[in-house]
Chain A
Amino acid sequence: MSTTTTASPNEAKLWEGGKSPFNSEYGKVMMWYFLMSDAFTFGAFLISYGTVRFSTNGWPNSNEVFKSFPFAPEGVNAPLVFVSIMTFILIISSVTMVLAVHAGKNMDKQGVVRNMILTIIGGIAFLSCQAWEWNHLFHEGAWWGANPFLNADGTASTTNFTNFFFTITGFHGFHVFSGVVINIIMLIMTLLDKFEQRGHYLMIEKAGLYWHFVDLVWVFVFTIFYLL
């Protein structure tokens, strides 16, 4: 950032050397390429789910599978309620992450610390929700290779549904977990004044890109597993 000019880059002279053609820091560009490759991984998972679903005659009804709510009495029928809370937790934590990045651009240490703490809390809340849901489904008999649910039309269901559900939400949950760990490291580095010494908060921006990607993937996972 410090080496590039803030003036809009001249297209013709962009590649003639002496300046960064992408007007962006190396680490940030590399984070984008990592996220692109990660998008292909998640895309492959979700497309294989779609392919298998399209090649199967019946499929469980998500409103029946995901109808439970913590602390609610057994057999409560509350489809979509719990997952909408999870979705909003992730959206809000994404907003606090943007605010942390924004505070970092202004060299506002207090703002970064406050918003990073809120983001970490959001991430942990999401992981707790997912842990509850996995535990609940496990006690209903669902796991890799075990599917207690019937298809929507009452015919026997394959284990494809639970296999894909646990693999994809598990892979996403692992991303959330690593995002929380990265955010905690960023928070500690901020508290140790590492970024004040460097003179910029670019690391927060890179962690922010990763965290937003995690939220982005959840947009797809949530829609595909719970709504469609």
Chain B
Amino acid sequence: MSHSHTDQEAHNAEAMAEIKKVTIILSIFTIVELILGFWMISLTSEGLILAIKGTIVILMMAKAFYIVAYFMHLKHEVKNLIMTIVVPLSLFVWFIGAFLWDGSSFRNLRNKYNPYFKEQATIKVEKKEHGAAKHEATDAKHEVAPAAKHETIGTSHETAKPEVEPYY
């Protein structure tokens, strides 16, 4: 009886040590991610930014592994159960690869064959005033009538500055 009691205590201490370890690992990974994120703000080199983004993705996957394996306890389950969860999820490897490739290919095709799409990405526009944007969002209904009026009058100010419509 006393044997199983000490066994239980040893198991408890082990479990608590694991929780503590995983908490520290998750916190450190998050802090490193944030440091990299702050560092990235001041950078301009495309290659370096891409390398940091890759590092952040690796840290993200590591955090996901620690949460699933230890917090969700999957590592301590029977192998068959682990496999029924992990094997279907491996479809994501194909999903991510195929869809991101498709997206990037669509952009290249549009830049090549749709001159408007390409041109639109080179026209700089003014950022809307903070107050104006706020007004527009909250009072969208009130905005409709005056906007329509402006259009019919066609002030010089309106015609001089053509709206650049974003192209999807």
Contacts and interface: CB of A to CB of B under 8 A. Distances in A.
B114 to A, nearest CB: 11
A102 B92 contact: no
Contact of B107 (A14, A54, A216): A54
Given A220-B60, A228-B56, A155 B125 contact: yes
B104 A54 contact: yes
Interface stretch (A121-129, A143-151, A173-181, A184-192): A143-151
A148 B128 contact: yes
A140 B133 contact: yes
B166 to A, nearest CB: 4
B148 interface: no
Interface in B94-133: 95-96, 99-100, 102-104, 106-107, 110-111, 117-118, 120-125, 127-128, 130, 133
Interface string A18-51: 0001111000010011001001000110011011
Given A94-B67, A139-B137, A158-B167, A79 B78 contact: no
B151 interface: no
Nearest to B111: A57
B138 interface: yes
A161 to B, nearest CB: 10
Interface in B134-168: 134, 136-138, 164-168
A154 interface: yes
B136 A141 contact: yes
Interface residues of B, number: 69
Contact of B133 (A9, A87, A148): A148
Interface string A208-220: 1100110110011
Given A47-B95, A84-B30, A219-B67, A155 B124 contact: yes
B117 A54 contact: no
B102 A51 contact: yes
Interface residues of A, number: 69
Contacts of A56: 107
18 contacts: A23-B78, A32-B81, A36-B88, A43-B95, A50-B99, A55-B102, A57-B120, A79-B38, A97-B71, A140-B130, A140-B133, A148-B137, A153-B121, A157-B166, A158-B166, A160-B168, A209-B72, A212-B68
Interface of B: 8, 12, 15-16, 19, 23, 26-27, 30, 33-34, 36-38, 40-41, 53, 56-57, 60, 63-64, 67-68, 71-74, 77-78, 80-81, 84-85, 88-89, 92, 95-96, 99-100, 102-104, 106-107, 110-111, 117-118, 120-125, 127-128, 130, 133-134, 136-138, 164-168
Given A102-B12, A156-B123, 6 more contacts: A24-B81, A33-B85, A39-B89, A50-B99, A106-B8, A155-B123
A-B pairs, 6 with minimum CB distance: A141-B133, A54-B103, A57-B121, A51-B103, A148-B133, A55-B103
Interface of A: 9, 14, 21-24, 29, 32-33, 36, 39, 43-44, 47-48, 50-58, 63, 79-80, 84, 87-88, 91, 94-95, 97-99, 102, 106, 138-143, 146, 148-150, 153-160, 205, 208-209, 212-213, 215-216, 219-220, 223, 226-228
